[in-house]
A and B are shown apart, each in its own frame.
Chain A
């Protein structure tokens, strides 16, 4: 049965907070990663987590326009990953 003390919106907000914790853990690899590609991968995973956090907040706070921001952010995240990986190859590993 559906518990009365637990609403879906609160679950979404708590899940968004836990996703924020997991995204902050990515900063360890983004700071420490020995190669440029390690940092780029960590920032890419962090961007994916940001998209999920924005979608969870859109459902939890009942503000559907957050999803527009999430869509644009996912597009920019993908373009950033592809562009920086091409630049690092063409400039010999130094950006």
Chain B
């Protein structure tokens, strides 16, 4: 009975981890600018990785390797949003403008992939070198 519950808990955790990682991949590929991409990367990817690592910890049972897996889970939960925040802060200090519906209207064509690229290089040097 306990073995059955553990098996199906592992299945559910693996399935949810795959689902959330898929959502994260779709978001990183399809969303319009770096801020929204960092949003989906910091939230759904952290949740998907955490669920997959929880499934691994549940499958390993009581042994030394489980301690490594739980440490890895906590480490991923702390560092993944921190890294996304550092990347977004660097994008903000480089002068990349956030996407709004008006930027698509100004560009005329709906090509979100070229948006935000030129502003990075014509920014003067006082934008963040002092921090």
Compute how far the CA of A59 lies from the CA of B53 in the bound complex, rounded to whole angstroms. 10
Instruction: Give the number of residue pairs across the A-B interface with Cβ within 8 Å.
Output: 167
Compute how far the CA of A76 lies from the CA of B49 in the bound complex, rounded to whole angstroms. 17
Q: Which of A2, A8, A15, A35 contacts B116 (CB 8 A)?
A: A35
Q: Does B117 contact A (CB under 8 A)?
A: yes
Considering the complex, which residues of chain A in the window 21-53 have a beta carbon less than 8 Å from any beta carbon of chain B?
A: 22, 25-26, 28-29, 32-38, 40-42, 44-45, 48-49, 51-52
Q: Which of B80, B83, B84, B121 has the most CB of A within 10 A?
A: B83
In the complex, which residue of chain A has the Cβ closest to the Cβ of B48?
A52
> How many residues on the A side are at the interface (Cβ–Cβ under 8 A)?
52
> How many residues on the B side are at the interface (Cβ–Cβ under 8 A)?
63
A55 with B53: in contact, given A35-B34, A35-B120, A81-B83 (CB under 8 Å)?
yes
CB <8 Å contact, A37 and B65: no
Return 13 A-B CB contacts under 8 Å, by A number. A12-B59, A19-B21, A29-B28, A35-B34, A37-B94, A41-B41, A44-B80, A45-B45, A48-B45, A55-B69, A59-B59, A67-B65, A70-B72
| Residues of A that sit less than 8 Å from B by CB | 1-2, 8, 11-12, 15, 18-19, 22, 25-26, 28-29, 32-38, 40-42, 44-45, 48-49, 51-52, 55-56, 58-59, 64, 67-68, 70-71, 74-75, 77-78, 81-82, 85-86, 88-90, 92-94
